[in-house]
C-alpha cells in the first residue's frame, strides 16, 4: 500500500516569512495529492490539491509543487500570517487504492510568530 512521509514535524517561522513542508510517497500509481489544514479541535480543511498531470498549482499565498519522478510534493506558504498557525497534513491516493481513500502523512505543526 501507499506510504507517505512528511517533514518537518514542527516548523516555526516569523510572520511574513515563507514556510515549506515536504512529503514523499511510495506508490508510483498515486495521482492525487491534497493538503489539509487542521486547527486545534477542528476538522481537517482541504486547502489545495494537485493531480499528477501538473507540476505546480497556486492559490493566492499557497502553492503546491509535484515531482513525479522523485515521488515528492511540497506545500509553500508565502507571507505567513498568525492565522496560518495550524497542523498541516499531506496525503496521497490513486487508482490502486480502489476507493481513493487517502493515506496521510503524520502532520507538520506550523507556528507563525507575530
Q: Which residues bind other proteins (CB under 8 A)?
A: 4, 6, 32, 34, 36, 42-46, 49, 89, 91, 93, 98-107
3-state secondary structure of 100: coil
Closest listed residue to residue 108, CA positions, set 2, 3, 4, 6 = 6
Q: Side by side, which strands form the sheet with 62-67? A: 4-7, 19-25, 72-77, 62-67, 56-59
Shortest spacing between CB 44 and other proteins, in angstroms: 5
Q: Is the Cβ of residue 1 or residue 114 nearer to other proteins in the bound state?
A: 1
| Closer residue to other proteins in complex, CB, 22/78 | 22
Nearer Cβ to other proteins (86/91) = 91
Amino acid at each position: 500500500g501507499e506510504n507517505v512521509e512528511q517533514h518537518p514535524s514542527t516548523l516555526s517561522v516569523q510572520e511574513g516569512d515563507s514556510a515549506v513542508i515536504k512529503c514523499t510517497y511510495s506508490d508510483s500509481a498515486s495521482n492525487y495529492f491534497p493538503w489539509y489544514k487542521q486547527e486545534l479541535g477542528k476538522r481537517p480543511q482541504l486547502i489545495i490539491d494537485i493531480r499528477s498531470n501538473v507540476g505546480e498549482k497556486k492559490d493566492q499565498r499557497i502553492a503546491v509543487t509535484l515531482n513525479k519522478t522523485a515521488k515528492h510534493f511540497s506545500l509553500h506558504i508565502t507571507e505567513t500570517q498568525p492565522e496560518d498557525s495550524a497542523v498541516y497534513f499531506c496525503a496521497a491516493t490513486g487508482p490502486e487504492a480502489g476507493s481513493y481513500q487517502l493515506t496521510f502523512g503524520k502532520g507538520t505543526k506550523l507556528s507563525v510568530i507575530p
